[in-house]
Amino acid sequence: MKKAFVLVDYQNDFIDGALGFEKAAKLKDEIKRLLENFDGDILITLDTHDENYLNTKEGINLPIKHCLKGTQGHDVPSFCEPFKQRAKKIFEKHTFGSLELAQFLKEEQYEQIEFGGLVSHICVFHNIILAFNAGLNTKLVLHKNATASFDEDLQNAAFKLLEAFWVELV
């Protein structure tokens, strides 16, 4: 079976940086376990901004500079470096979802795509929906213990919607 694991925006600024939160740091062991044992392609998205961020739609609504390209906050934590080296492709994205990732998934036609990363109800959600539209017969799986949000109510709402779209939550 042709499989991929998409690690969404598991970056320092979301863990212990500008937008860090406690639950994000607690994902380390689960993400490490999943990626070490994954038999398939690893794909990584990186939230990527520049100094003009505060003048963007997102920056106006979330006026906290984060994941600026070239900073430590933009990078993945050190334990993820081996997975970054092993990744089939890394997608730098400037908004919640990556159209480049969706196009790649459409071309690759994976039979199963698994997800983890940050933030569950924002970028993880957006990229799963894009994956759904890129491959209508692809099985989509979200590892609930490998994703987190700073808002549990929004996370639970996102989980309910994903289940309604036939995403398997494990």
Q: What is the mean pLDDT of residues 22-39?
A: 96
Return mean pLDDT, the chain: 97
In this prediction, what percent of the chain has a pLDDT beyond 70?
100
pLDDT at 73: 97
Task: Could you please state the CATH topology (level 3) that the domain comprising 3-150 is classified under.
Answer: Rossmann fold (3.40.50)
Q: What is the mean pLDDT of residues 51-65?
A: 95
Q: pLDDT by residue (tens digit) across 77-125?
A: 999 999 999 999 999 999 999 999 999 999 999 999 999 999 999 999 9
Q: What is the mean pLDDT of residues 133-161?
A: 97
* SS3 assignment, position 103: helix
| Extents of the domains making up the chain | 3-150
Q: pLDDT by residue (tens digit) across 59-90?
A: 999 999 999 999 999 999 999 999 999 999 99
Cβ-based neighbours of 124, under 8 Å, separated by 6 or more: 8, 9, 115, 116, 117, 118, 142, 147, 158
pLDDT at 113: 98
pLDDT at 86: 96
With a cut of 90, say whether residue 136 has pLDDT above it.
Answer: no
How deeply is 47 buried, as exposed, middle or buried, from its count of CB atoms within 10 A (0-12, 13-18, 19+)?
buried
Cβ-based neighbours of 161, under 8 Å, separated by 6 or more: 125
pTM equals 0.96
